[in-house]
Structure 1
Amino acid sequence: MVTFNQLYHARLGSLKNAVDDWTETVKKLQTLEESASNGMLKKAEKADWAGENAGITLPFVKKTAKEFGDAATEAESIRNILRDALAEFKTAKQNLTKVVEDAPGKGIRIDADGTVSHQVHPDRRSKDYDGPEPTEADFDKVRADIKAALDRANDADEVASRALRTLVGKDKNNFSGTDYDSLKQAGRAQDAQDAKAAAKIAAKGDDASAAEIDRLNKYFKDNKGDQYFAERFALEVGAKGNLGYWVDMGDASDGSHLASDNREEIKELQKNWSMTLAAATHSHSPAMEQWKSDVIKSGDDVIRSRGSSAYGFQVMSNLMRYGSYDTKFLNAYGDAVVVAENKMTHDGRIKPGQAWSSGLAPSPRLNWDGKDLGRDPMAGFMEALGHNAKASTSFFNSSIDLTPDNPSDNKKVDAFKYFTEERDWPGDTYEDGFGNKYGYDSLGHALESATTGHAYDAAPDGLRDARTEENAKVMQKVVSFYGSDPKHMHEQGIADSLSKIGTAYIDEFNRSLEQESATAEHEVENSPFGANKDGRSRFGEEYDTALLFTRGDTVDFMSIVAQSEEGHGQLSAAQSLYTASVLDAAGPEPTTGKIDPVDLTDAKTALRIGSEAHGILDYSRMGQIDKDFEKDSEEYNKKVAQTTEWIKFGAGVAIGGGVAAITGGFAPAAVLAPLAVEYVGGAVETYLGTGIDDLSEKYAKKGTDLLKEKSDDLRDEALLMGKDNALIPAESYAYAPGWSDSNRNYVLEELTASVKNSRIHATEDPLPDPYEAED
């Protein structure tokens, strides 16, 4: 393993000399080969051999001549491997050196072991420090560039060392004659060898040993992301072999305990296998196109083992839970599995759960991740969509032809409506019981990627806003459906996903809330909100002035999502950040000069709408708590007090490229909230600076005190604190560096006055009733 220090200080002169020496050796050996072939061998072949010489000497001469040829080939291969390795090491070192040299200009220090830190830590800066202040995005970029350089060097090192061992071989008396014209060719040869070895283990099914499963996992991990290896493995195993393996592994009727005794290893194998096949689907070679077609055609085939069976779609969907599968393949697969389900349910006359178990032997265990057993093929398919935003977006914007063999009958189903509203999601056995919660959970993941443009569990992709017009079309469907009745979110249990989805559109929600009319379809003229840049919307020309959602739709959706603890916390955090960013973008720059009151108009608007939004969120959450818990109970008081704790998120936010990545306690993956600016302005900096720490301490103590109060008093106090929270962006803006004391007081007074009555306005909107489960 090449370390940071080794690569940065690497002296490549010796390797360069080795390449030159082997080049000379190749020339000499080629000369000897030519002499042996055209001289010694030709003369030996023309000689009139008789007796023992005919059976011994001539074959010896031929073998010797061949060895000269093999030696020349092996030497040339060694030279080629060393030459290409040198080029890779040289490029990797140059890239690493550039990262190190550029880091101080960004205010970043890189230690001898590659550790990245502040050049001057914020706590040790003088008051007049005016040097660079790196953002978290800057640190992430430097770390990523270091990793890329090290990965390049290590990849070259691993391929080269393995190739050289292969060239030397185990036969001390013969040259191998292995021919590598490049490091890349050697890598591909190694991939093919690994794929064949992995396929041999897979062919054993559950007759393999635990050690072989470990070895199979190692093949996958060592070749992670290697498309050529992935393709070779997929083709070696075959479409039907791939499906048969997992049915066999989940069938304990043949007496094998391999899977049951090694659950963690099989869980890891499922993930590694899935990611390998995902990489393979991105190949468009004729052989892989046929493989993909065969997988889809096998979807409604029954795949049998000794004592169990499953449909091909059930098996394959469980191998889609990880990795990003090819978009075209996923969409074709999705259409096919919906068509199959429609046939099996006889146009919906029987339930999917019954259809997918009809006519089968006992179902094998197909999913090993600790959730369900994998009987519903739609769950795994939804997970696959959740990892490919392009595929999920196009899928949920599509209609599926249910009778592709008869296109003239126009028998279609809307994909979004089918999966969110019409489909009766089947239950499955899981660790804590039986139900369909994991199916809906996967649906939520797919909707996240379809609306945000990011894989649902991905780290922020360079902290950028990836939303497109097509994403917005899915979002309009989400807002319309899930905002129409609280039961959809609560009964499906996808509040966590809808929270992340709502956070990603907080700018457009603010744009809608600025309208007084609940049904208006166009923005207030010159609105400071929305994803507009230079007056143009990222969602298409129509939305330069048109709203994605009406005020009424926005109030309904935000209110319903905020009934959940996750929704209230995430949307509240995103709202405060967004309001602060609008103040940075639309408010006047901090100054010691005279302020024109007109210049504060957009700032006042931002705070007014932000206050209304917080009111909607707080009153919705309180209403749900009132419905769910008995007043004066310990649980009731705890939940009310928690409505103020979202403020603690501040330390978990990273800013960059016009996006806030909220990571503090809300979700395993970052929740991306759009901002009104592409930089961190004074209000946002102050909000995320020392002020947020002071507020966190204040609210932590206040929350403890609140628990001692009676429920009615507690509720009133919490709502008052919510009102105070709406002022935090205003305080951050007013206390940003650059204001004179008199201007700061004036700005804070003006902004506070604009917020004062806005909270009340939030109660004028008819909010959806809290959810109450039916008996």
Structure 2
Amino acid sequence: MRERKLQDLVSVGVLAADVSRDVIDEVVAEYGRQARRSDGKLPPHVVVYLVMGLALFRGEDYEEVAARMIEPLARLGACRSGDPVPTASAITQARKRLGPQVMREVFRRTAVPVADLLTGGAHLGSLRLVSFDGTTLDMPDTPSNAGAYGYPGSAGERSAFPQLRLLTLIEDGPRAPLAAEIAPCHGKGSGERTLLAGLLDYLEEGMLATADAGLFGFDLWCRAAQTGAELLWRVGAGPELPKVKESRDQPADGKRLDQYKDLQKHLSLTLANATQSASPDMARWKFEMLQAVEKPIGPGIGVSGYVVMSNLMRAGDYEDDFLESYGRNMLAREQEGVRDGRRREQIWGYHGGGLWPHLNSTGTDFGFDPMTGYMKALSNSPDAATAFFNAEFIGKDTENNPFKRDTDGDGRKGHIGLSNFQYLFEERNWMPDQDSEGEDSIAGKNYLAAALEAATTGHPAGELPTPATAAHTEDQAKLYSEIVKSVSEVPSRLADNGFMSDSLGQISAEYMADIHRGLRPADKNEDLLYPVQGAAAKLGEQDLTRFMYVVGQNPEGYAALTVGQHAYTASAMEYHFAHPEAFVKDPRYSPTQNMEIAILDIAQNAGEIQGTLGAGRAYAAELDAGNKDAEFNDAITKAGELGESLVGIGVGAATASAVGPGAVVAGGVAETAAGEIIGSLTEGLMRDSSDEVIYRNGEEIQATRDSTFRLVEKAAQAAGDQAGTPSPHIVALVGREAEIGFGGAQDRIRDFVDGVGVPKALEKDK
């Protein structure tokens, strides 16, 4: 008996601690169920605890439960000591007076997540695990219960008791219920999917909600996705999905397409988050997933599992090892097919006849080519992208290697080995596809360029550089060198796919110190003149000239390189003005004379870069009869954010105290020489102290040549002023050096650009 009292005290104590008297009193007051004074009836808050006790001590009758709870509740101050144990009739009447609404609201206010980060099975990474759990409960066989819930059964037989259907939202780990819905076990509106609709509003961002196949419904999924929670739901065979369109020739329902797009995005994000888990269960899941994609999916032979999975990889950050393994296996499958002489369509399970499945709803493409979705995944995962592109695709001596080139100029072609980058950028025939407008899709190669951006810069494509990504690794620098060399060897690889130039332009803006090194004929002490954080890309003047000439023909590529060059030129000048003997320290000359050598070298390189880019731009303008001028100028004005980020990084690790992060914190980007130049350049109108126009955008743009000289002069002047060591002498010389570089660019184009048009002139004044 003593043991039972102790158990009752503990049980009721935990109950009272989790469901406080204050919460109960608030709810009772809101629903007007307060007890009248001295009416002899059970107080409402005691009734609430008794009802919960009936669930806690299932199998015991009303009076037994009340006997268990009265003394513990009295000790906790919830009722008076010595009160008689209420009869079953009194409890029944008290429950009727209280009503179900009070109990429902008390549950809603107290059913909250209880797991902490140490609770086993409660989290996946930063996500709180929740699940939908359904069951049925036998009810007392009373006429009222029979009328409300009925007797489930079939074929003329029925159960012995009425049953209700219960669906709960459970916090995994502690198995704590967060929300619940009930309904009869039969009749219209009694299914679990109907109950699920009432639970979706309890989902929230930061949760990962799982559900079994019986709960899946497309509209329910879309509603759940809108809550911000991540979803991982099992889908049964042959799910019923709404019809989007009858054929490719009929317009789609825009609302449904948006829902498909959300569904695809949330599936991708959920799977990406799942791969980041280090748990044994998720390690096994990743292994099984890599096995599953090797098999066809769908009726008959079906398309490759890679086609389906790649379309679920377009959003989120997949774990690097999983992403690398997936790509390695997929490329191995494609390499095998290429060696066998099969087309890409055959490799990935398209066998002719009928419509190909539309597996992508983003509008960029229909998802036919698995490489497209995978490139998008790599664009979000820089480290995996770097490793992937530098890996070998095929060895020179691999059996049935179909790739041959004349590598020594003797007119005879021999087998060659290829990296993944070389295969995808230089050799692969990308599968034809269409976008949502019925136009030829550029998504495959566009995402390839974005993946290369991530692989070479260390940050996801489309993001801005930061000091944390400024130092490039050996593998990143090597890949950038390969990109420049590849475009130089066959300019049409980029010229025929100009939409890739925005990514290649941004990459190059982040390798501006490396480009300056490559354009310098001598390499002695180049690390002092052009400091590089991390590894430096090995670049040659011929390859750089041909590469920049092609990039300069695209507005976004031209803008990124132009802004990057001017940001670097001004930052480098400011650094050397502040450290006049950083490059040359000859005691026979003054510090200013030593500094002059560095400043003039920087100015000459600036002229050569702008001369090359300007020639590419002018050639594009001639091809388009000048109609692209506005596009080029608009692209420059939009590149200001990139320029400010580059200014914030500075010109190298050794210069951080002069420009870069320290300067940004102290006075802001705009207060550096480079910040002044970039701000004026991207605003489209810069004037010096005499109100003379230095650089114009729009229809009034001056010749690229004159603009370059003036900007370089302005950079030198601002750099000297910022460093507190102005030198009118050097300012007077830098324009001439820039002109030498600009003229040298024209010579290099004539020498190095073979078979590509050279413009007769740059932009003309109106």
User: What TM-score bracket applies, with the shorter chain setting the length?
Assistant: 0.5 to 0.7
Given the alignment, which residue of 314, 317, 334 partners 1:341? 334
Change (3 A) 1:63 1:480: farther
Q: Give 1:494 deviation, angstroms.
A: 1.0
Shift of 1:266: 2.2
Is 2:174 the counterpart of 1:188?
Answer: no
Q: 2:486 aligns with which of 481, 484, 502?
A: 481
The question of 1:552 aligning with 2:542 is answered yes
Moved more, 730-739 or 329-338: 730-739
C-alpha separation between the residues in 2 aligned to 1:657 and 1:756?
24
Tell me the distance in 2 between the aligned counterparts of 1:599 and 1:177.
71
Q: Displacement of 1:583 after TM fit? A: 1.3
Residue 399 of structure 1, CA deviation = 1.8
* Contact 1:446/1:456 (<8 A) preserved: yes
1:437 lines up with 2:442 in the alignment: yes
* Cα distance between partner residues in 1 of 2:534 and 2:462: 24
Gaps of 5+ in 2: 15-57, 78-101, 134-168, 170-207, 400-414, 582-589, 664-668, 688-692, 758-766
- Find the aligned partners of 1:573 and 1:172 in 2 and give their Cα distance: 62
Q: Aligned residue for 2:271?
A: 277
The residue aligned with 2:729 is 746
Pairs aligned (count): 565
Shift, 1:292, TM fit: 1.6
Whichever residue aligns with residue 481 of structure 1, its letter is: S
C-alpha deviations, 1:104-147, integer Å up to 9, x for none?
xxxxxxxxxxxxxxxxxxxxxxxxxxxxxxxxxxxxxxxxxxxx
2:730 is aligned with what amino acid?
V
Displacement, 1:35? 11
2 CA distance for matches of 1:651 and 1:596?
33
Q: Which residue of 2 aligns with 1:420?
A: 425
CA gap 1:758/1:749 in 2 versus in 1, 3 angstroms: same
Deviations 1:317-359 (A, max 9, x none): 011001110111111111222223344x452523213443524
Q: Give yes or no for contact 1:400–1:415 (8 Å, CA) kept in 2.
A: yes
In the TM superposition, what is the alpha-carbon distance from 1:733 to its structure 2 partner?
1.8
Q: How far off its partner does 1:381 sit? A: 0.5
- C-alpha separation between the residues in 2 aligned to 1:462 and 1:394? 22
Q: Identify which of structures 1 and 2 has the higher relative contact order when contacts are C-alpha pairs closer than 8 Å and 6+ apart.
A: 1
How big is the shift at 1:304? 2.2
CA distance in 1, matches of 2:392, 2:282: 27
What SS does the aligned partner of 2:546 have?
helix
One-letter identity of the residue aligned with 2:389 = F
Residue 554 of structure 2: aligned partner: 564
Instruction: Identify the residue that residue 504 of structure 2 maps to in structure 1.
Output: 498
Residues 250/420 of structure 1: CA separation in 2 closer, same or farther (3 Å cut)? farther
| SS across alignment from 2:434 | strand
2:323 corresponds to which of 323, 330, 334: 330
Question: Based on CA coordinates, which of the two structures has the bigger radius of gyration?
Answer: 2
Structure 1 position 284, deviation (Å): 2.8
Which of 381-390 and 310-319 deviates more? 310-319
Among candidates 455, 459, 465, match of residue 454 of structure 1: 459
Q: 1:737 to 1:549 in 2, by over 3 A?
A: closer
Query: Is the alpha carbon distance of 1:383 and 1:67 closer, same or farther for their aligned partners in structure 2, counting shifts above 3 Å?
Result: farther
Please show how residues 668-687 of structure 1 align to structure 2 within 5 Å.
Answer: 677-679=655-657, 681=659, 685-687=671-673
CA distance in 1, matches of 2:73, 2:243: 50
Matches within 5 A, 1:66-105: none
Residue 363 of structure 2 is aligned with which of 353, 362, 370? 370
TM-score w.r.t. structure 2 length?
0.62
Question: How far is the alpha carbon of 1:287 from its aligned partner?
Answer: 2.2
Cα distance in 2 for partners of 1:735, 1:321 equals 48
Q: 1:728 aligns with which of 714, 723, 731?
A: 714
Give 1:291's aligned residue.
285
The answer to whether the 8 Å contact 1:372/1:431 transfers is yes
1:222 offset after TM fit, Å?
Answer: 3.2
Match of 2:229 among 183, 200, 222: 222
Please give the root-mean-square deviation of Cα atoms over the aligned residues, in Å: 4.9
Residues 69 and 401 (structure 1 numbering): CA distance in 2 closer, same or farther, change over 3 Å?
farther
Change over 3 Å in CA distance of 1:355–1:586 after alignment to 2: same
Aligned partners of 1:364 and 1:33: how far apart in 2? 60
User: Structure 2 vs 1, CA of residues 645 and 390 (structure 1 numbering), >3 Å: closer, same or farther?
Assistant: closer
Task: Please report how far the alpha carbon of residue 674 of structure 1 lies from its aligned counterpart in structure 2 after TM superposition.
Answer: 6.9
In the other structure, the counterpart of 1:41 is none
Kept in 2, the 8 Å contact 1:559–1:620? The answer is: yes
8 Å CA contact 2:677–2:715 kept in 1: the answer is no
- Distance, in Å, in 2 between the alignment partners of 1:180 and 1:266 is 34
- With over 3 angstroms needed to count, the CA separation of the structure-2 counterparts of 1:564 and 1:653, relative to structure 1, is closer
> What secondary structure is seen at the aligned counterpart in 1 of 2:644?
strand
The amino acid across from 2:753 in the alignment is P
Report which of the two has the higher share of helix: 1
Match of 2:593 in 1: 597
1:684-704 alpha-carbon deviations (Å, 9 max, x no partner): 835456666666464698988
Q: 1:686 to 1:597 in 2, by over 3 A?
A: same
Change in Cα spacing, 1:655 to 1:31, as seen in structure 2 (3 Å) is same
**3-state SS of the aligned residue for 1:374?**
coil
Check if 1:352 corresponds to 2:344.
yes
Over 3 Å counting, the alpha-carbon distance change for 1:451 and 1:216 in structure 2 is same
Paired AA for residue 656 in structure 2: E
With normalisation by structure 1, the TM-score equals 0.62
Select between 676-685 and 730-739 the one with higher mean Cα deviation.
676-685
Aligned to 2:196: none
Contact 1:311–1:356 (CA<8 Å) still a contact in 2?
yes
Q: Is the 8 A contact 1:644 1:703 kept in 2?
A: no
Structure 1 residues 757 and 676, CA, compared in 2 at 3 Å: closer, same or farther? farther
Which residue of structure 2 aligns with residue 43 of structure 1?
none
Q: Does 1:760 align with 2:743?
A: yes
Could you tell me whether the CA contact under 8 Å between 1:33 and 1:69 is conserved in 2? no
Can you list the C-alpha shifts for 1:429-467, whole angstroms capped at 9, x where unaligned?
A: 212334351110111111111111111133545664152
CA distance in 2, matches of 1:69, 1:554: 88
Whether the 8 Å contact between 1:584 and 1:684 is mirrored in structure 2 is no
1:414-437 Cα deviation digits (max 9, x unpaired): 312221122110011212334351
Classify 1:748/1:312 alpha carbon distance in 2 versus 1 (closer, same or farther; 3 Å): same
For residues 106-125 of structure 1, what are the structure 2 equivalents within 5 Å? none
CA distance in 2, matches of 1:549, 1:687: 28
CA drift at 1:564: 1.8
Contact 1:480 1:553 in 2 (8 A): yes
SS in 2 for 1:577: helix
- The alignment partner of 1:603 has SS state of helix
User: How many Å separate the matches in 1 of 2:753 and 2:222?
Assistant: 53
In 2, Cα distance between equivalents of 1:687 and 1:601 = 19
- How many angstroms does 1:412 deviate by? 8.1
- Counterpart position of 1:32: 9
Q: Partners in 2 of 1:525 and 1:342 — Cα distance?
A: 44
Aligned to 1:394: 387
SS in 2 for 1:192: strand
The answer to whether the 8 A contact 1:30-1:69 is kept is no
**1:471 maps to 2:476:** yes
Match of 1:16 in 2: none
- Matches of 1:69 and 1:528, distance apart in 2: 85
Residues 352 and 568 (structure 1), Cα distance of their counterparts in 2 relative to 1, 3 Å cut: same
The correspondence for 2:624, drawn from 611, 629, 636, is: 629
Shift of residue 616, structure 1, vs aligned partner: 1.7
2:548 and 2:621 map into 1 onto residues whose CA distance is 16
Once residues 753 and 225 of structure 2 are traced to their aligned partners in structure 1, the CA distance between those partners, rounded to angstroms, is 53
Letter in 2 for 1:415: N
- Going from structure 1 to structure 2, the CA distance change for 1:332 and 1:63 (only over 3 Å counts) comes to farther
Partner SS for 1:392: helix
Relative to 1, partners in 2 of residues 1:621 and 1:182: Cα closer, same or farther, differing over 3 Å?
A: closer
Q: In the superposition, relative to structure 1, how do residues 62 and 645 fare at CA in structure 2: closer, same or farther (>3 Å)?
A: closer
Amino acid at match of 2:224: R
Distance 2:71 2:238 in 1: 44
Q: What amino acid is the match of 1:598?
A: N
Give how far 1:314 is off. Answer: 1.0
